[in-house]
Amino acid sequence: MYLYIMSRPHSGSTILDILLGSSDSVASCGEIIMGMERGMETWTCSCGEILADCPVWKTVRQRIVEDPGTDWDELVEASVRQGHKTHLPSTFLASPSGTGERDRFHQRLRDGTMKLADAIRSVTGRKVVLDSSKLPSRGLFALKFLPDARLIHIVRDPRNVLASHYWRFHIGDTYLAQRRPWRGPLAPLAFVEAALMWFFGNLLFEIIGRIDPKRVVHIRYEDLRDDPASVIRRLSRELGLDFEDVIERIDRGETFDTGHMMGGNPVRTEGKVAFDPGKEKARERPAFLSWIAIGVCWPLMLRYGYSLRSDRRAGNGAKKTA
Ligand SMILES: [Zn+2]
């Protein structure tokens, strides 16, 4: 199975990836597209090695290079290109059986991606490849072109997503919706933009999911935070995979190894990660973030069951332990 996580940024995809990746049947790869884009020679795997030196990714690349039917550089270039949002219309229109240029590009990417997944399975000895690239375009591709793909759409209350942006913004980290620095009196507009991105991004995930609803599971980050075992059990049931080992680890309060995640949130490079719901409740976000989030996102917030009057506590949920 090719398991793909799609979400907006700051919505819990990394911690979900780390939890599922602790299963003996799952090879957690992190954000594959990000890792490919940053480059094998320069980007660091979550194990601490440069990708080109990591025992997993070095061997996976070697397998692709040795396969006469595939070309590593071409696969990377096509994967990154297809993952970009401007490629969405092309992927929507492409056909798995067509003969046009657009169809052939996607079919070739499908063949290369299936060989990549086979190499990952054979190198790690795990049957499920987990890719948390999050990107809608990649999710659409997986659903249309990879017959064994299943998607998890994880959503988080936009008030908490904006708060997550806000706290990073506050400490001088200017990572926001379009990775632009926002300063001065217009700064709140950045949060309006982030709220719009949340709304249209999740709307897009809903539309993609309609293509084959049986292969897509929608979950909320808050449910994962408050009762991870129940959410993991539901995923286990709906995906037809056995995650009892993950639930046992959660029940024992174990920390989670970040393994060989190619790309993703910086938390992946922090060795062992624990769930820390307590931290989540420690900070109170400014009221204006809630007004922006509700003003822009309310139709989907209602759909996902978020009360428009809930409290103002929020946070991240993952912490470094080693
Ligand atoms: Zn590694």
Distance in Å, CA 34 to ligand 1 centroid: 14
Residue 322 has pLDDT above 50, yes or no: no
Tokens at residue 288, please?
């204006």
Classify residue 152 by its DSSP letter: E
Question: What percent of the chain is predicted at pLDDT more than 70?
Answer: 88
Residue 173 has pLDDT above 60, yes or no: no
Classify residue 223 by its DSSP letter: H
Q: What residues contact 45, with CB distance under 8 A and at least 6 apart? A: 35, 51, 54, 56, 57, 260, 261, 262
Q: Residue 124 has what pLDDT?
A: 97
Distance in Å, CA 54 to ligand 1 centroid: 4
Mean pLDDT on 30-37: 96
Q: Which of 19-23, 245-249, 269-273 has the lowest mean pLDDT?
A: 269-273
Residue 234 has pLDDT above 50, yes or no: yes
Residue 103 has pLDDT above 50, yes or no: yes
Q: Residue 177 has what pLDDT?
A: 43
Helix (H) or strand (E) holding 80: helix 72-83
- In angstroms, rounded to a whole number, what is the distance separating the alpha carbons of residues 4 and 148? 11
The interaxial angle of helices 101-124 and 136-145, nearest 10 deg, is: 90
Going from N- to C-terminal start, the domains of the chain cover 2-320
- Could you say which architecture CATH assigns to the domain 2-320? 3-Layer(aba) Sandwich (3.40)
Question: What percent of the chain is predicted at pLDDT more than 90?
Answer: 74
Maximum pairwise Cα distance, the chain: 59
Distance in Å, CA 269 to ligand 1 centroid: 10
- In angstroms, rounded to a whole number, what is the distance separating the alpha carbons of residues 238 and 229? 14
Confidence (pTM): 0.91
Distance in Å, CA 139 to ligand 1 centroid: 24
